[in-house]
Structure 1
Amino acid sequence: MKDMRDFVAVCEEKGLLKRITAEVDWNLELSHIAKLNEEAQGPALLFDNVKGYKSPVITSACTTVERLAIIMGMPEDSTLTDLYVGWEEKAKKPIPPTYVDKAKAPCKQNIMMGDDVDLYKFPVPQYYPLDGGRFYGTAHFIITKDPDSGWVNLGTYRSQLLAKDKIGTQFIKGKHADIMLKKYQKLKQPMPVASIVGCDPILFLLGAARVGAFTSEYDVAGAFRGQAIEIVKGEVVDLPIPAHAEIVVEGFVDAEKFMEEGPFGEYTGYYSGVGTDPRNFIDVKCVTYRDNPIFWGTTVGRAVTDSHMTMALSYGATLWQQLKEMRIPGLKAVYCPPEGAGRFLAIISMTQMYPGHADQVLTAAISTEMGAYGLKTVIVVDDDIDPWDIPRVMYALSFRFQPNRSQVIKRGRSTPLDPSLPIETRDITGRLLMDATIPYEWKNKPIPIELDPDMVERVKERWSELGF
């Protein structure tokens, strides 16, 4: 799979994508159709007839685990936790990207430069009634490069369409793009950036993931594909661009310049603020795009949409990968529920091997690069419970968890999008670590009730005779 068109073809062949040929308005109607479809775990949608436009919009690309598996090149019957394991295995052998002939790169088929740049030529949706406007970047990623080391980062940060040649940024404190922007600020230079809409979907998943600093998502994507990602140089920025991208926005972000941006209906199901905020923006100098480009958007909003499925995969897989890298014994499985956007709640199943083992795993989870930012609740259960089996997790919390012994509350870094905190105090969050295991060191453990295995077999043999 090299691009969005390959993904569309595969999904259409398997009956996992629906084309909408009726005219649909980009203003609220498109997003509402997509949102209702996503809540029903419906197919990917390709809107072929967007009012006032000739090019299509794709939404709901990642609503189901089945389609996430297709993107990752995994069996379609994989579970989310199967994908975590596959992610960890595939990421072990990074393959750097390779430059290809610019003249043959599909992303260069059309070029708008300077005053000719007009982002309103693309069918950018307005998603929710209280949004501050149309949001160009919801399923995109922004490419930046560290001025010191040359490290190339792909990161997903929302981008509002502010003018025909301006799109907003939301480089949250401590994010890789924010770290790089501060370096350019010290150099008194604007930061070159490129926004990519429509691409090999694995690049978007990695842009939304918590890939560690100094590791390029391009290298990890190459590992996933088993071959180098094809790239070309930008027209006005010295950045590596996916050769098969649908739309490429090239420009510069000046750390000293701001425009009013927002609000936006976030994946938490709430707006991140009460109005607009001054934010840095991309001053667009060039746009390149394919013939009849496919615009990719996601509705975000209240769980569960394809945004939450994407985050449940990318965040959960990253947590599993980083825990494995710590070489902690006894780890069985991790599950980061889509309902928590994959980042606020983590459930870990483990085999206890020594006193304090469960505490080690709990503290390790919030010490990973992924868990150190925004993760609020970690639950550890014994290995007889699958972490995705929520009824059994509730059982463990009811009959194995003891509040005066099994919970720890800590402080940690928060995300400014967390609606459980007051808007003005979202730097620090509380963290609840819950040990829902039977303590390893207990000499007299509760005696579990178990069925007699021989009788189970006898009953199963009579199952149909009994009328079941």
Structure 2
Amino acid sequence: MKPIRNLRDYIEVCEAEGEVKRVKAEVDWDLELSHIAKINEEQGGPALLFENVKGCLGSVLIGVFSSPKRMAIALGMPPEYTMCQMADEWRRIGSRKPIPSVEVNTGPIMENIVEEKDIDLTKFPAPKYFPLDGGRFMGTSAFRITRDPETGELEIGMGRMQLYDEKNVGLYLSPGRGGDKIRAKYEKLGKPAPFALVFGCDPALALASVMFIKGASKYDIAGTLRGIPVETVVSDFTGLPIPAEAELVVEGFMDHDDLRPEGPFGDVTGLYTSELQKPIPKRFVKAKRVLYRNDPIMLANSSGRPVSDVQMMISLPRTAALWQELEAMKIPGIKSVYIPPQMAGRFWAIVSVKTQYPGHANQVAHAVISTTTGHLGIKGVIVVDDDIAADDMDRVLWALATRYLPDRDTEIIKRGRSSPLDPAVPPETGYVEIISKILIDATVPYEWPQKPVVAALDEEVVKKVKSRWKEYGLD
């Protein structure tokens, strides 16, 4: 497989695998593009590269992360890897020697430089996704770059970005978290916060932007994933390092007292955010310079009800993080871990364990909600035996049907921490930080002297049959 250094390399590799299809017909950014993408996604189709967006400069690639195969290609892993296998590989990155980014003098991103007076962001193909959206969203698979003014550390993270007009773009920062904390430091200093917004890049960089490894920058993570360093160009405008082979970058500043209503948007839950009921003013980035490659390609995520790009992007790093945390607890027997994208990539977790003592499965379930990843937002845990991979949803349901008794194997935790993203919290109560959680033990009780026997195939015959598969005419 060809080494992937940028979005164009990725498209070339995926095309060879039949995983990208080019759409050459003219398509409107206003709902039509997103609706084609969503219908295609629900039919299990390839990623789509829209090359002729009405009235716009550049193309849109959407659907990159909505299949495990395309995600594996993006990560440089074997295309046949399952979500659990990818998460298992991902969680080991932290133990590898990081591959730091390399500064270069220039790169393809510098092919076109547009100064403030000539900026018109509306000419780029930002889609409007759903009828009730607050407008066009330029960033659904984009990431921001800023720098902590006190420590000098880079902060790279993902968040939705609404296109307001020719020179202004919304940037959602989770209150009290990384990007917002840094913004607040600039506010304390009486300075606007500098940002570089990246709207198309190597998909491994987009995935790295939602991953956290202590002491490593997101560029280091992407380089370690790839096995080659990420090349960056230090901007002579903001001083921020931007990917040299990015497709489109908007540089600008965020004022602290200038607010505009942002959203609503069909979020990761597949439901509209609270801005639909009540407008919430937010800060935004005033574009001062735009950099882009010739014929830029914007990377976009499908959204809405699962499974879409956004749920897959959340599922994988959260699965890897939870697995890593459980391993650090030294609990024996854990075989695989999964936070399913069908459950918005955050609300339920499944763990496969080889039980070794009475109460082992219960210990694992309690451990999940005690982790950093698990205590915030995960409201359900299912533990299955080691003959079932955590991401084998058919077998997980089978375990619930054949190994689980509600009165014996269910535990309700009445006071657990919620997530503000949980739409199941009753709206009339406002944001309730304390919710109930459920722990389900779908394993065969370890202490049973006689356990049910699985109707399994003979392993030797399986080997023989597989060796003759072509001979049977079934390949």
Q: Structure 2-normalised TM-score?
A: 0.89
Cα separation, partners in 2 of 1:366 and 1:191, compared to 1, 3 Å: farther
Cα separation, partners in 2 of 1:246 and 1:328, compared to 1, 3 Å: same
Which residue of structure 1 lines up, in the alignment, with residue 102 of structure 2? 98
Cα separation, partners in 2 of 1:228 and 1:213, compared to 1, 3 Å: same
Q: Which amino acid aligns with 1:79?
A: T
Is the contact made by 1:266 and 1:417 (CA closer than 8 Å) also made in structure 2?
Answer: no
Give the counterpart of 1:119 among 106, 118, 121: 121
Q: Secondary structure at the match of 1:250?
A: strand
Cα separation, partners in 2 of 1:147 and 1:363, compared to 1, 3 Å: farther
Is the contact made by 2:248 and 2:293 (CA closer than 8 Å) also made in structure 1?
Answer: yes
Give the counterpart of 2:419 among 406, 415, 418: 415
Which residue of structure 2 lines up, in the alignment, with residue 221 of structure 1? 222
Q: Does 1:425 align with 2:427?
A: no
Q: C-alpha distance in 1, partners of 2:399/2:14?
A: 39
Greater CA drift, 401-410 or 219-228: 401-410
Cα separation, partners in 2 of 1:451 and 1:142, compared to 1, 3 Å: closer
Q: Deviations over 1:271-320 (max 9, x none)?
A: 01124211121122211111111012122111112222222222222222
Q: C-alpha distance in 1, partners of 2:459/2:50?
A: 57
Q: C-alpha distance in 2, partners of 1:260/1:455?
A: 61
Give the counterpart of 1:47 among 39, 46, 50: 50
Cα separation, partners in 2 of 1:240 and 1:437, compared to 1, 3 Å: same
Which residue of structure 2 lines up, in the alignment, with residue 74 of structure 1? 77
Q: C-alpha distance in 2, partners of 1:64/1:140?
A: 19
Cα separation, partners in 2 of 1:360 and 1:196, compared to 1, 3 Å: same
Is the contact made by 2:69 and 2:80 (CA closer than 8 Å) also made in structure 1?
Answer: yes
Displacement after TM superposition at 1:212 (Å): 4.5
Displacement after TM superposition at 1:168 (Å): 1.3
Which residue of structure 1 lines up, in the alignment, with residue 232 of structure 2? 231
Q: Secondary structure at the match of 1:221?
A: helix
Q: C-alpha distance in 1, partners of 2:417/2:184?
A: 20
Q: Secondary structure at the match of 1:181?
A: helix
Identity of aligned residues (%): 46
Q: Which amino acid aligns with 2:169?
A: I
Q: C-alpha distance in 2, partners of 1:456/1:55?
A: 55
Is the contact made by 1:28 and 1:128 (CA closer than 8 Å) also made in structure 2?
Answer: yes
Q: Does 1:448 align with 2:452?
A: yes
Is the contact made by 1:151 and 1:214 (CA closer than 8 Å) also made in structure 2?
Answer: no
Cα separation, partners in 2 of 1:372 and 1:141, compared to 1, 3 Å: farther
Q: Structure 1-normalised TM-score?
A: 0.90
Q: Deviations over 1:409-442 (max 9, x none)?
A: 15444333322123432544432222223444x3
Q: C-alpha distance in 2, partners of 1:422/1:145?
A: 38
Which residue of structure 2 lines up, in the alignment, with residue 57 of structure 1? 60
Q: C-alpha distance in 1, partners of 2:321/2:273?
A: 25
Q: Secondary structure at the match of 1:416?
A: coil
Is the contact made by 2:140 and 2:159 (CA closer than 8 Å) also made in structure 1?
Answer: yes
Q: Which amino acid aligns with 1:98?
A: V
Q: Which amino acid aligns with 1:125?
A: P
How many residue pairs match? The answer is 457
Which residue of structure 1 lines up, in the alignment, with residue 299 of structure 2? 296
Q: C-alpha distance in 2, partners of 1:47/1:450?
A: 49
Q: C-alpha distance in 2, partners of 1:126/1:454?
A: 53
Displacement after TM superposition at 1:402 (Å): 4.3
Q: Which runs of 5+ in 1 are unaligned?
A: 462-468
Cα separation, partners in 2 of 1:433 and 1:252, compared to 1, 3 Å: farther
Which residue of structure 2 lines up, in the alignment, with residue 165 of structure 1? 167
Q: C-alpha distance in 2, partners of 1:394/1:451?
A: 17
Q: Deviations over 1:343-363 (max 9, x none)?
A: 111100012234443333223
Give the counterpart of 2:26 among 9, 23, 26: 23
Give the counterpart of 1:87 among 77, 90, 94: 90
Q: C-alpha distance in 1, partners of 2:385/2:14?
A: 38
The 4+ residue runs of structure 1 with deviation greater than 6 A are 452-458
Q: Which amino acid aligns with 2:349?
A: A
Q: Which runs of 5+ in 2 are unaligned?
A: 466-475
Which residue of structure 2 lines up, in the alignment, with residue 142 of structure 1? 144
Q: Does 1:242 align with 2:234?
A: no
Q: Deviations over 1:6-28 (max 9, x none)?
A: 11111112221111111111110
Q: C-alpha distance in 1, partners of 2:460/2:17?
A: 40
Q: C-alpha distance in 2, partners of 1:177/1:412?
A: 26
Is the contact made by 1:91 and 1:224 (CA closer than 8 Å) also made in structure 2?
Answer: no
Cα separation, partners in 2 of 1:141 and 1:452, compared to 1, 3 Å: closer
Q: Secondary structure at the match of 1:163?
A: coil
Displacement after TM superposition at 1:452 (Å): 9.4
Q: Which amino acid aligns with 1:218?
A: Y
Give the counterpart of 2:281 among 278, 283, 288: 278
Is the contact made by 2:94 and 2:213 (CA closer than 8 Å) also made in structure 1?
Answer: no
Q: C-alpha distance in 2, partners of 1:230/1:96?
A: 9
Q: Secondary structure at the match of 2:375?
A: coil
Displacement after TM superposition at 1:186 (Å): 2.9
Greater CA drift, 244-253 or 170-179: 170-179
Where do residues 280-429 of structure 1 align in structure 2 (5 Å cutoff)? 280-406=283-409, 407-423=411-427, 424-425=430-431, 427-429=433-435
Which residue of structure 2 lines up, in the alignment, with residue 107 of structure 1? 109
Give the counterpart of 2:441 among 421, 435, 451: 435
Displacement after TM superposition at 1:366 (Å): 2.6
Greater CA drift, 54-63 or 43-52: 54-63
Q: Which amino acid aligns with 1:368?
A: T
Cα separation, partners in 2 of 1:222 and 1:455, compared to 1, 3 Å: closer
Q: Deviations over 1:107-158 (max 9, x none)?
A: 1111122222221121111111100100011010111222333232221111
Displacement after TM superposition at 1:405 (Å): 4.8
Q: Secondary structure at the match of 1:343?
A: coil
Greater CA drift, 420-429 or 280-289: 420-429
Displacement after TM superposition at 1:172 (Å): 1.7
